[in-house]
């Protein structure tokens, strides 16, 4: 009798559990798929349990038939899945185990207009908010649709100037009066001097920040990272982008710098911004940076969300979803596409917990 999808899923899960011990060379994968740790968070995250997205790419990869998974990018900034296995049972089992483990951690949900356009994004976000509230958890959203996004690099795209504020307004309407947090436009501030019309970009960022602030939605304006612009320069850029209206700023989004380096950078930046608070992306910084930003080899997941402490740190979060490619570089698929081999490498970092 042919096996049903449920039978195949059970078989794959059993195989994956059997290779848990070998997935992490030299270490052991954490047994529990849901880690319960004391929260070190403050501000909007105080006492929060973060939302785990059941439809993340990691979750879909964990539930899919690896042999049937093919690359499906719909744009450079929209999410797809990629197979990547050569059919070896050990490789398949490791990829499944890595996907299941990564899927269990709360990670920000990226809102990109190519996938969630005007007219649909409000309903999509509202559905996530309702799901989170049913589970007593708090979602984190990354808003990523500014015009000239990424200066035409690996995640090129974004909306027109006329459309952007309307798109943001739909997101604000969906999250207002709910417990959420928003990371606003990774890289947009740091790229402003080098990407298009700086004045126009800063006005767009300031207007978007104001929309969230007026609705009392916690919003963190992206502040680059410790290996990019010096704190004094970044502070001036953040002021121009409207950080005074924001809850604070974010650092290390989609990057790999150590938590210690980011705290040092962010605390100095905070001192230049009248004590502004901040969040740090620790999703892939467990092995630090090797100087590359696009799919560097040998990286691992970093510190579990809501566990880091520093004077002005509201929370460490997983903003960039581990296992999703940075772009078509270093052997990876297009930006936002699931990359099973990278997921396996990143999952080795769980042994450090």
pLDDT for 321-344, tens place per residue?
999 999 999 999 999 999 999 999
Query: Averaged over 141-145, what is the pLDDT?
Result: 97
Q: What is the distance between the alpha carbons of residues 29 and 33, in angstroms, rounded to a whole number?
A: 10
Instruction: Indicate if 53 belongs to the active site.
Output: no
Catalytic residue among 53, 222, 261, 326: 326
Nearest residue to 57 via CA among 134, 131, 109, 121: 109
Determine what percent of the chain is predicted with pLDDT higher than 90: 76
pLDDT of 30 strictly over 50: no
Q: 87: exposed, middle or buried (C-beta count within 10 Å: 0-12, 13-18, 19+)?
A: exposed
Position 352 scores a pLDDT of: 87
pLDDT band at 175 (very low <50, low <70, confident <90, very high): very high
Nearest residue to 297 via CA among 339, 353, 265, 334: 339
Position 122 scores a pLDDT of: 98
Q: What is the distance between the alpha carbons of residues 224 and 197, in angstroms, rounded to a whole number?
A: 19
Higher pLDDT, 39 or 279: 279
Instruction: Indicate if 194 belongs to the active site.
Output: no
Query: Averaged over 255-262, what is the pLDDT?
Result: 98
Q: Which domain holds residue 31?
A: 5-352
Position 8 scores a pLDDT of: 37
Position 157 scores a pLDDT of: 80
Q: What is the distance between the alpha carbons of residues 210 and 88, in angstroms, rounded to a whole number?
A: 52
- In angstroms, what is the C-alpha Rg of the chain? 19
pLDDT for 52-103, tens place per residue?
999 999 999 999 865 544 343 333 355 555 545 556 777 999 999 999 999 9
Sign of CA dihedral 295, 167, 276, 232: positive
pLDDT for 114-131, tens place per residue?
999 999 999 999 999 999
Position 155 scores a pLDDT of: 67
Position 90 scores a pLDDT of: 79
When divided into structural domains, the chain yields a total of 1
Q: What is the distance between the alpha carbons of residues 97 and 240, in angstroms, rounded to a whole number?
A: 45
Determine what percent of the chain is predicted with pLDDT higher than 70: 82
Catalytic residue among 150, 261, 281, 314: 150
Four-CA torsion 129, 131, 133, 135, nearest 10 degrees: -150
Average pLDDT, the chain: 86
Q: What is the CATH number of the domain that holds 142?
A: 3.20.20.40
Four-CA torsion 111, 112, 118, 124, nearest 10 degrees: -30
**Kind and range of the H or E run holding 109:** strand 109-111
Catalytic residue among 46, 123, 187, 194: 187
pLDDT for 212-242, tens place per residue?
999 999 999 999 999 999 999 999 999 999 9
Which tokens sit at 108?
A: 């920000």
pLDDT for 145-172, tens place per residue?
999 897 867 666 889 989 999 999 999 9
Instruction: Indicate if 7 belongs to the active site.
Output: no
Cβ atoms of 282 and 317 closer than 8 Å:
yes
Query: Averaged over 262-275, what is the pLDDT?
Result: 98
What is the 3-state secondary structure of 331-348? CCCCCCEECHHHHHHHHH
Position 47 scores a pLDDT of: 96
Query: Averaged over 241-261, what is the pLDDT?
Result: 98
Cβ atoms of 62 and 310 closer than 8 Å:
no
Position 66 scores a pLDDT of: 56
Position 271 scores a pLDDT of: 98
Angle of CA points 120, 124, 128, to nearest 5°: 170
């Amino acid at each position: 009798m042919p096996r049903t999808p449920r039978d195949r899923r059970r078989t794959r899960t059993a195989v994956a559990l059997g290779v848990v011990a070998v997935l992490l060379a030299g270490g052991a994968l954490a047994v529990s798929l849901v880690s319960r740790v004391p929260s070190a968070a403050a501000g909007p995250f105080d006492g929060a349990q973060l939302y785990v997205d059941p439809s993340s790419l990691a979750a879909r990869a964990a539930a899919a038939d690896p042999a049937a998974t093919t690359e499906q990018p719909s744009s450079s900034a929209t999410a797809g899945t990629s197979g990547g296995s050569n059919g070896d049972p050990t490789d398949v089992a490791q990829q499944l185990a890595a996907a299941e483990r990564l899927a269990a951690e709360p990670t920000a949900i990226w809102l990109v207009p190519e996938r969630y356009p005007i007219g649909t994004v409000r309903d999509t976000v509202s559905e996530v908010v309702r799901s989170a509230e049913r589970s007593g958890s708090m979602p984190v959203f990354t808003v990523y649709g500014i015009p000239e996004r990424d200066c035409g690099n690996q995640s090129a795209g974004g909306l027109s100037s006329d459309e952007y504020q309307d798109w943001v307004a739909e997101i604000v309407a969906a999250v207002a009066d709910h417990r959420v947090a928003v990371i606003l436009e990774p890289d947009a501030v740091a790229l402003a001097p080098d990407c298009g019309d700086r004045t126009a970009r800063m006005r767009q960022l300031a207007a978007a920040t104001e929309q969230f602030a007026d609705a009392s939605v916690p919003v963190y304006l992206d502040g680059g990272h410790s290996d990019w612009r010096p704190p004094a320069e970044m502070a001036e850029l953040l002021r121009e982008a409207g950080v005074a209206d924001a809850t604070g700023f974010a650092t290390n989004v989609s990057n790999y710098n150590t938590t210690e380096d980011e705290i040092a950078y962010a605390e100095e930046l905070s001192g230049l911004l009248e004590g502004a608070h901040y969040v740090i992306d620790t999703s892939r910084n467990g092995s630090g940076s090797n100087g590359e930003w696009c799919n560097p080899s040998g990286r691992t997941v970093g510190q579990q969300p809501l566990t880091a402490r520093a004077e002005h740190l509201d929370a460490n979060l997983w903003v960039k979803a581990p296992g999703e490619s940075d772009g078509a570089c270093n052997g990876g698929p297009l930006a936002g596409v699931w990359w099973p081999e990278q997921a396996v490498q990143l999952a080795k970092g769980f042994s450090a917990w």
